[in-house]
Amino acid sequence: MAESFSVTRRFFDDKNYPRGFARHGDYTIRESQTLEQYGQAFKALDLGERVPVTEEEKAFVAFCRGERPAETYFEKTWNKYRTRISASKRVYTLSGVVGADNPDDFSAE
> For residue range 16-63, what is the model confidence (pLDDT) as tens digits?
889 988 888 889 999 999 999 999 999 999 999 999 999 999 999 999
Q: What percent of the chain has pLDDT over 90?
A: 57
Helix pair 29-47, 73-86: axis angle to 10 deg:
80
Closest residue by Cα to residue 5 from 80, 68, 77: 77
pTM for the model stands at 0.74
Q: Is the pLDDT of residue 69 over 90?
A: yes
State the pLDDT confidence band at 6, using cuts at 50, 70 and 90: confident
